[in-house]
């Protein structure tokens, strides 16, 4: 081995959200590689990842493979099963012609809804498929679930993506067909066969069209929701009516109320108050009023 | 799809099954499977572990081999599992235990003694480090522990070596009369690559060694043992000089790299032309061989993940060497990290910095599952405005938005002791609560609970009993009534156990019964002294993935108060519909399991089951 420089392995990065089947997809690719006697390393991380977090799997194959992980900027293919996860790993893609295969499906995490202030919008990547594909320059963005649903089996979306993936790698279509057939239960054979061919056909058709046409078909940025004028919250309590029953304090979703020394409710943490009005509705003595007051722009 | 091992554990010893297993072949395996295979091939007879990422699958895979070949068990904690393996070694059979790096802290008391005692049957500890802290509380380097305990540590770089080194670890253990640590890392444990397997070697049991001077570590015996340990270190240094364990890969003599473990694979990726000395053991290091390499090279760099173990040993041996000046002591290595270090060292040209794509990925931290019973437990904890000591498990996720219900988290079982300290400090005016999972309680919570009762601490302990070790993917424990191989066994009754510790106020509540849980917690806090609430509901993922008919929001009734969003349930999200500046809520029916927690919390009573 002295001094010998190994031929560079090929690298495929498959990413998605826990439960989408990232590991299953990797397994299919690894099996295809093994049919050709190639060395394959497939690396993933277990543990917290499955709790709704992002999941990734590095697959590298070739005559010899050293690092189990793909160096940044060296993935030949980045296959994203969820739109924003694809964006997260985009820098791993080879800049000189690496293929970005992205399902445009969006899985919006609970974290996106964490601000519950007046006028808040979900926090999800604003970049739309059209602008990202234009930026990356090579690859495919598709709604695999829709393609699979048109075949009558939305659950075969992953196999549609495998069909697209198969057109970007050097293995024959039959290699893929056979491995998929071996790894799919009997009753799902036909649906997955169709889904695989649909993925291939879609990719071929996409290649046949011009970049401009392809971009035109992709979704652009969402129309921005109409700007909502900000409002501030004012908490008003009629002290004489409050009997210190503590209901509002205990039920406040943001835990921003407390009883003061005189056992009267007060807003202890105005920053946290979202103005949801639960305290107003729950107060048995009508002692609380929540006002949402427009914030006036200073006049220039 | 998750990484969980299919729990098809083998209960018998079928000749046909054995024949199939014995067939040599090449199969893709993750590192943990290869370690299990190596142990089985080495003829292991006793195996015990407490689950811990990234080590868990080792014992699960061992459990798929015939029961007639090896006894395989979950233990209550890592120290017990090591003691069980030590017992197997005393009895004269090859024995193994597996744990995550911080598990070795728990097991270290036994290890430090056993390092002096040595072995009878081969004794191997598999310890899986977690560089990069993918799923742990720190990134301590087990090689430091090996040096401290003066036991050899083998560091495989890929799955094939994981299998080979595990096999050899038993030979080394018996030949040199020492426990052996096999150190994996998250990357190795969870990377799948082809592995050549061989048949099992059935090792003849040695029988108990009736040598009291060796087996009983009292001061007089320990004083005799310590010189043996020191002599063993020297012998092992010589032994590890063989090409099997210290591999010299010839390349350019301008630059020589000394490396070990998965760092080796990154070196080969980034600098294939260099001469490489790949060590299988950082301790005891084959110092003479290292010196030969050192002297043959114009310049030598040490590339090792985490602590500078090799580098420090070389410097101490009069070989000034560079390493951590260029490569970080924290975080996981990767080809990029190694490349950057080599660039800093002036060995490779700095690649042009790639401008990142201007995109904004969505933050997607891990969350508790839809219908997770921990959600209500922490909603109740929030409602009493308490000072809360947390513990290790999925439920540590309650520390972050939106539950924000945990103030501290230290190590397995720490919560109860921490709560005692809060109380005894005498400053806290709020109620003091310790929250701890079922398996964590059995692992390290019981002595602390006895301590709390003994010292009459005014605290409330909430045991979050979800009937499984959930965080590591659903393993059995003494509270599930099932063994690793799925056999029925005694099931710990938590109420009885808590009462036996001397607790006078105990109540078990269904985690899904929110009103009763709130009520129980308030009463528990009123009780002066130690009170225990057992919040009881099986995990929604394991052993059975639960799915009931989903709930839905009657949008007309939703006031967009978003009280339900405080649950942090991943099935809850915002609908497009906005009411006076606030989004109304919708429920994802494909993921909702119908636990009804959101319906119980909804002030406007607009969440109902889907009626078909």
Shared-domain flag, residues B24 and B75: yes
- Residues of chain A with Cβ-Cβ distance to B568 below 8 Å are 110
**B591 phi/psi in degrees, rounded to 5:** -105, -20
User: What is the number of CB-based contacts under 8 A between chain A and chain B?
Assistant: 225
Asked whether residue B579 is assigned to any structural domain, the reply reads yes
Segment B129-157 shows an average pLDDT of 96
Dihedral (Cα; B226, B232, B237, B238), 10-degree rounding: 150
The SS3 call for residue A121 is coil
**pLDDT at site A293:** 84
Asked whether the beta carbons of residue B2 and residue A18 sit closer than 8 angstroms, the reply is yes
A183 and B CB contact within 8 Å: no
**CA of B394, closest CA in chain A: separation in Å?**
8
The SS3 call for residue A29 is helix
Q: Are strands B180-185 and B460-465 parallel, antiparallel or unpaired?
A: unpaired
Nearest to B561 among A22, A43, A276 (CB): A276
High-pLDDT (> 90) share of chain A, % = 58
A124 and B CB contact within 8 Å: yes
Shared-domain flag, residues A19 and A157: yes
Say which residue the tokens 């397997």 belong to.
B197
The upper half-sphere exposure of residue B7, i.e. CA atoms within 13 Å in the direction of its Cβ, equals 16
- The pair of structure tokens assigned to A198 is 């649909």
Nearest to B135 among A24, A47, A85 (CB): A47
**pLDDT at site A252:** 85
What would the 3-class secondary structure string for A146-203 be? HHHHHCCCHHHHHHHHHHHHHCCCCCCHHHHHHHHHHCCCHHHHHHHHHHHHHHHHHH
Asked whether the beta carbons of residue A66 and residue B574 sit closer than 8 angstroms, the reply is no
A192, A217, A242: which is the final residue of a domain?
A: A217
Asked whether residue A224 is assigned to any structural domain, the reply reads no
Residue with the larger pLDDT of the pair A298 and B96: B96
Instruction: Tell me how far CA of residue B229 lies from CA of B219, B234, B242, in angstroms.
Output: 15, 9, 21
Residues making up chain B, counted from first to last: 612
Asked whether the beta carbons of residue B268 and residue A277 sit closer than 8 angstroms, the reply is no
Nearest to B565 among A116, A119, A251 (CB): A116
A187, A217, A247: which is the final residue of a domain?
A: A217
**B265 phi/psi in degrees, rounded to 5:** -65, -30
Shared-domain flag, residues B136 and B204: yes
Shared-domain flag, residues A72 and A157: yes
Q: How far apart are CA B181 and CA B96, in angstroms?
A: 10
Q: Write the DSSP symbol of residue B268.
A: H
Q: B447-475: per-residue pLDDT in tens?
A: 999 999 999 999 999 999 999 999 998 99
Measured between its terminal Cα atoms, the distance across chain B in Å is: 29
The SS3 call for residue B358 is coil
Label residue A6 by pLDDT band (50, 70, 90).
very low
Q: Tell whether the model's pLDDT for residue B444 goes beyond 70.
A: yes
- Residues of chain A with Cβ-Cβ distance to B253 below 8 Å are none
**pLDDT at site B116:** 98
The SS3 call for residue B449 is helix
Asked whether the beta carbons of residue B28 and residue A255 sit closer than 8 angstroms, the reply is no
- C-alpha closest to that of A100 among A139, A59, A135: A139
Asked whether residue B127 is assigned to any structural domain, the reply reads yes
H/E run at residue A84 = helix A83-88
Q: Are strands B191-197 and A39-44 parallel, antiparallel or unpaired?
A: antiparallel
Scanning A20-79 for CB atoms below 8 A from B yields 21-24, 30, 34, 39-54, 65-69, 71-73
Residue of B nearest to A27 (CA): B192
Q: Write the DSSP symbol of residue A297.
A: P
**pLDDT at site B398:** 93
**B374 phi/psi in degrees, rounded to 5:** -65, -25
The SS3 call for residue B176 is helix
Asked whether the beta carbons of residue B559 and residue A65 sit closer than 8 angstroms, the reply is no
* Number of domains within chain A: 2
Asked whether residue B556 is assigned to any structural domain, the reply reads yes
CATH code at position B312: 3.40.50.920
Whether the CB-CB separation of B531 and B475 falls below 8 Å is answered with no
Segment B60-85 shows an average pLDDT of 97
Q: Tell whether the model's pLDDT for residue B602 goes beyond 80.
A: yes
Shared-domain flag, residues B276 and B218: no
Asked whether the beta carbons of residue B187 and residue A69 sit closer than 8 angstroms, the reply is yes
Q: Classify the C-alpha dihedral A174-A81-B585-B535 as positive or negative.
A: positive
**pLDDT at site A19:** 81
Label residue A220 by pLDDT band (50, 70, 90).
confident
Shared-domain flag, residues A162 and A62: yes
Shared-domain flag, residues A213 and A235: no
A217, A251, A286: which is the final residue of a domain?
A: A217
- Residues of chain A with Cβ-Cβ distance to B566 below 8 Å are 253
Q: How far apart are CA B21 and CA B32, in angstroms?
A: 17
Asked whether the beta carbons of residue A66 and residue B252 sit closer than 8 angstroms, the reply is no
Q: B106-115: per-residue pLDDT in tens?
A: 999 999 999 9
Asked whether residue B419 is assigned to any structural domain, the reply reads yes
B430 and A CB contact within 8 Å: no
High-pLDDT (> 70) share of chain B, % = 97
- The pair of structure tokens assigned to B485 is 């191989």
Average pLDDT, chain B: 94
- The pair of structure tokens assigned to B394 is 């999925």
Shared-domain flag, residues A213 and A241: no
Asked whether residue A183 is assigned to any structural domain, the reply reads yes
Full residue range of the structural domain in which residue B153 is found? 15-239
Residue A165, number of CB atoms within 10 A of its CB = 26
Q: Write the DSSP symbol of residue A64.
A: S
Nearest to A110 among B262, B561, B570 (CB): B570
A259 and B CB contact within 8 Å: no
Shared-domain flag, residues B255 and B233: no
Shared-domain flag, residues B73 and B111: yes
Shared-domain flag, residues B316 and B167: no
Shared-domain flag, residues A142 and A269: no
Asked whether residue B350 is assigned to any structural domain, the reply reads no
Nearest to A66 among B265, B368, B565 (CB): B265
Shared-domain flag, residues A102 and A202: yes
Asked whether the beta carbons of residue B573 and residue A110 sit closer than 8 angstroms, the reply is yes
Label residue A1 by pLDDT band (50, 70, 90).
very low
Residue of B nearest to A41 (CA): B193
Q: How far apart are CA A35 and CA A46, in angstroms?
A: 27
Scanning B343-372 for CB atoms below 8 A from A yields 354, 356-369
* Number of domains within chain B: 4
Shared-domain flag, residues A96 and A33: yes
**pLDDT at site A213:** 83
Label residue B509 by pLDDT band (50, 70, 90).
very high
Asked whether residue A225 is assigned to any structural domain, the reply reads no
Shared-domain flag, residues B561 and B485: no
- Residues of chain B with Cβ-Cβ distance to A5 below 8 Å are 272-273
Residue of A nearest to B372 (CA): A51
Nearest to A132 among B1, B336, B359 (CB): B359
CATH code at position A244: 3.30.70.20
What would the 3-class secondary structure string for B3-40 be? CCCCCCCCCCCCHHHHHHHHCCEEEEEEHHHHHHHHHH
Q: Tell whether the model's pLDDT for residue A8 goes beyond 60.
A: yes
Nearest to A45 among B186, B269, B472 (CB): B186
Shared-domain flag, residues B437 and B383: yes
Those residues whose C-beta lies under 8 Å from the C-beta of residue B566, and which sit 6 or more positions away, are A253, B379, B382, B402, B403, B601
Scanning A81-120 for CB atoms below 8 A from B yields 84-85, 87-88, 90-91, 95, 108-114, 116, 118-120
Segment B502-506 shows an average pLDDT of 98
Q: Which residues on adjacent β-strands are paired with residue B573?
A: B586
Asked whether residue A1 is assigned to any structural domain, the reply reads no
CATH code at position A213: 3.40.920.10
Those residues whose C-beta lies under 8 Å from the C-beta of residue B291, and which sit 6 or more positions away, are B317, B319
Asked whether residue B368 is assigned to any structural domain, the reply reads no
CA B384 to chain centre: 32
Asked whether residue A5 is assigned to any structural domain, the reply reads no
- C-alpha closest to that of B339 among B294, B313, B297, B301: B301
**CA of A88, closest CA in chain B: separation in Å?**
5
| Burial class of residue B36 in the structure, from the number of CB atoms within 10 Å of its CB (0-12 exposed, 13-18 middle, 19+ buried) | buried
B239, B265, B282: which is the final residue of a domain?
A: B239
B479, B505, B536: which is the final residue of a domain?
A: B536
Shared-domain flag, residues A191 and A243: no
Nearest to B265 among A68, A85, A108 (CB): A68
Scanning B128-157 for CB atoms below 8 A from A yields 134-135
B239, B265, B297: which is the final residue of a domain?
A: B239
Shared-domain flag, residues B434 and B390: yes
Q: B274-315: per-residue pLDDT in tens?
A: 999 999 999 999 999 999 999 999 999 999 999 999 999 999
Nearest to B361 among A43, A65, A87 (CB): A87
Full residue range of the structural domain in which residue A170 is found? 10-217
Asked whether the beta carbons of residue A91 and residue B356 sit closer than 8 angstroms, the reply is yes
**CA of B251, closest CA in chain A: separation in Å?**
5
Shared-domain flag, residues B219 and B269: no
Shared-domain flag, residues A25 and A171: yes
**pLDDT at site A44:** 85
Q: Which residues on adjacent β-strands are paired with residue A39?
A: A62
Label residue B10 by pLDDT band (50, 70, 90).
low
Asked whether residue B3 is assigned to any structural domain, the reply reads no
Q: How far apart are CA A234 and CA A240, in angstroms?
A: 18
Label residue B4 by pLDDT band (50, 70, 90).
very low
The SS3 call for residue B119 is coil
**pLDDT at site A4:** 38
- Residues of chain A with Cβ-Cβ distance to B272 below 8 Å are 4-6, 66
A272 and B CB contact within 8 Å: no
Q: How far apart are CA B115 and CA B150, in angstroms?
A: 7
Instruction: Tell me how far CA of residue A225 lies from CA of A122, A125, B7, B359, B559, in angstroms.
Output: 11, 15, 49, 20, 20
Q: Write the DSSP symbol of residue B104.
A: H
**pLDDT at site B25:** 84
Q: B315-351: per-residue pLDDT in tens?
A: 999 999 999 999 999 999 999 999 999 999 999 987 6
Q: Tell whether the model's pLDDT for residue A141 goes beyond 60.
A: yes
Q: Tell whether the model's pLDDT for residue B1 goes beyond 70.
A: no
CATH code at position B497: 3.40.50.970
Shared-domain flag, residues B135 and B40: yes
CA B506 to chain centre: 31
Residue B588, number of CB atoms within 10 A of its CB = 15
Scanning B190-219 for CB atoms below 8 A from A yields 190-194
Number of H helices, E strands in chain B: 21, 21
Whether the CB-CB separation of B453 and B527 falls below 8 Å is answered with no
**pLDDT at site A154:** 85
Shared-domain flag, residues A210 and A243: no
Q: How far apart are CA A72 and CA B356, in angstroms?
A: 10
Asked whether residue A2 is assigned to any structural domain, the reply reads no
- C-alpha closest to that of B518 among B527, B509, B506, B529: B509
Q: Are strands A54-62 and B607-609 parallel, antiparallel or unpaired?
A: unpaired
Shared-domain flag, residues B305 and B394: no
Q: How far apart are CA A47 and CA B322, in angstroms?
A: 35
Q: Tell whether the model's pLDDT for residue B612 goes beyond 70.
A: no
Nearest to B268 among A66, A109, A228 (CB): A66
Shared-domain flag, residues A99 and A122: yes
Asked whether residue B356 is assigned to any structural domain, the reply reads no
Asked whether residue A185 is assigned to any structural domain, the reply reads yes
**CA of A201, closest CA in chain B: separation in Å?**
27
Q: How far apart are CA A297 and CA A299, in angstroms?
A: 6
What DSSP line would sit under B385-428, residue for residue?
A: T-EEE--SSGGGGGGSTTT---SB--STTHHHHHHHHHHHHT--
Q: How far apart are CA A167 and CA A171, in angstroms?
A: 8
The SS3 call for residue B289 is helix
**pLDDT at site B150:** 97
């Amino acid at each position: 081995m002295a001094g010998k420089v190994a031929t560079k392995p090929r690298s495929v990065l498959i990413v998605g959200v826990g439960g989408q089947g990232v590991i299953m997809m990797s397994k299919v690719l690894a099996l295809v590689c093994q049919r050709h006697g190639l060395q394959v390393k497939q690396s993933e991380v277990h543990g917290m990842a499955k709790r709704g977090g992002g999941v990734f799997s590095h697959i590298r194959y070739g005559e010899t493979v050293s690092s189990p992980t793909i160096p940044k900027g060296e993935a030949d293919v980045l296959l994203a099963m969820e739109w924003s996860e694809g964006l997260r790993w985009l820098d791993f893609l080879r800049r000189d012609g690496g293929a970005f295969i992205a399902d445009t499906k969006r899985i919006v995490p609970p974290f996106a809804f964490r601000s519950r202030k007046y006028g808040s919008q979900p926090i999800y990547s604003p970049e739309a498929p059209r602008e990202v594909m234009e930026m990356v320059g090579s690859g495919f963005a598709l709604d695999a679930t829709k393609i699979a649903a048109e075949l009558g089996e939305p659950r075969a979306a992953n196999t549609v993506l495998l069909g697209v993936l198969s057109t970007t790698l050097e293995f024959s279509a039959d290699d893929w067909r056979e491995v998929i057939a071996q790894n799919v239960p009997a009753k799902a054979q036909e649906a997955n066969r169709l889904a695989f061919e649909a993925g291939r056909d879609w990719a071929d058709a996409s290649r046949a069209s011009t970049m401009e046409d392809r971009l035109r078909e992709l979704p652009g940025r969402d129309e921005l929701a109409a700007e909502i004028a900000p409002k501030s919250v004012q908490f008003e309590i009629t002290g004489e009516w409050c009997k210190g029953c503590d209901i509002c304090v205990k039920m406040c979703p943001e835990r921003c109320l407390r009883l003061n020394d005189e056992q009267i409710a007060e807003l202890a943490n105005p920053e946290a108050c979202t103005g949801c009005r639960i305290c107003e509705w729950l107060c048995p003595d009508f002692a609380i009023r929540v006002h949402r007051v427009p914030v006036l722009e200073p006049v220039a | 799809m998750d990484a969980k091992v299919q729990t098809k554990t083998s209960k018998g010893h079928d000749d046909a099954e054995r024949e199939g297993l014995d067939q040599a072949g090449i199969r893709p395996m993750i590192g943990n499977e290869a370690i299990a295979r190596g142990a089985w091939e080495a003829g292991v007879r006793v195996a015990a572990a407490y689950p811990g990422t990234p080590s868990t699958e080792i014992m699960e895979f061992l459990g798929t081999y015939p029961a007639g070949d090896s006894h395989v068990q979950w233990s209550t904690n890592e120290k017990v599992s090591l003691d069980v393996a030590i017992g197997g070694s005393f009895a004269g059979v090859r024995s193994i235990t597996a744990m995550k790096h911080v598990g070795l802290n728990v097991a270290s008391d036994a290890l430090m003694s056993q390092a002096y005692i040595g072995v009878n049957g081969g004794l191997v500890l598999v310890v899986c480090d977690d560089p990069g802290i993918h799923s742990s509380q720190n990134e301590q380097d087990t090689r430091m522990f090996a040096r401290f305990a003066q036991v050899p540590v083998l560091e495989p770089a890929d799955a094939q070596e994981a299998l080979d080194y595990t096999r050899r670890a038993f030979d080394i253990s018996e030949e040199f009369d020492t426990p052996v640590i096999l150190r994996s890392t998250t990357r190795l444990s969870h990377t799948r690559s082809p592995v050549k397997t061989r048949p099992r070697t059935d090792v003849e049991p040695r029988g108990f060694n009736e040598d009291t001077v060796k087996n009983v570590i009292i001061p007089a015996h320990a004083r005799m043992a310590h010189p043996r340990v020191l002599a063993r270190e020297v012998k092992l240094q010589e032994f590890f000089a063989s090409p099997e364990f210290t591999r010299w890969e010839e390349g350019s003599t301008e630059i020589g790299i000394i490396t070990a473990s998965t760092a080796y694979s990154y070196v080969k990726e980034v600098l294939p032309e260099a001469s490489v000395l790949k060590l299988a053991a950082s301790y005891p290091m084959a110092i003479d061989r290292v010196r030969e390499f050192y002297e043959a090279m114009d310049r030598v760099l040490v590339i090792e993940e985490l602590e500078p173990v090799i580098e420090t040993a070389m410097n101490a041996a009069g070989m000034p060497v560079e390493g951590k000046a260029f490569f970080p002591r924290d975080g996981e290595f990767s080809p990029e990290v190694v490349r950057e270090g080599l660039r800093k060292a002036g060995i490779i040209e700095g690649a042009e910095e790639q401008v990142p794509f201007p995109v904004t990925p969505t933050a997607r931290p891990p969350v508790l599952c839809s219908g997770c019973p921990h959600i209500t437990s922490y909603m109740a904890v929030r409602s009493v405005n308490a000072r809360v000591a947390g513990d290790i498990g999925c439920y540590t996720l309650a520390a972050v938005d939106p539950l924000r219900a945990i103030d501290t988290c230290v190590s397995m079982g720490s919560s109860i002791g921490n709560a005692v300290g809060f109380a005894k400090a005498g400053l806290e005016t709020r109620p003091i609560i310790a929250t701890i999972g079922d398996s964590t309680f059995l692992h390290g919570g019981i002595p602390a609970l006895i301590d709390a009762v003994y010292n009459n601490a005014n605290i409330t302990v909430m045991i979050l009993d979800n009937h499984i070790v959930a965080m590591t993917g659903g393993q059995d424990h003494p509270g599930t009534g099932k063994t690793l191989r799925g056999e029925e066994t005694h099931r710990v009754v938590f109420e009885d156990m808590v009462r036996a510790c001397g607790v006078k106020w105990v109540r078990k509540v269904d985690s899904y019964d929110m009103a009763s849980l709130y009520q129980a917690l308030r009463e528990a806090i009123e009780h002066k002294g130690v009170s225990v609430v057992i919040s009881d509901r099986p995990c929604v993922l394991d052993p059975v993935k639960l799915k009931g008919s989903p709930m839905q929001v009657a949008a007309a009734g939703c006031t967009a108060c978003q009280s339900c969003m405080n649950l942090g349930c991943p099935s809850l999200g915002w609908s497009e519909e906005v009411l006076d500046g606030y989004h109304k809520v919708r429920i994802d029916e494909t993921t909702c399991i119908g636990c009804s927690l959101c319906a119980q919390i909804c002030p406007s009573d607009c969440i109902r089951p889907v009626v078909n």
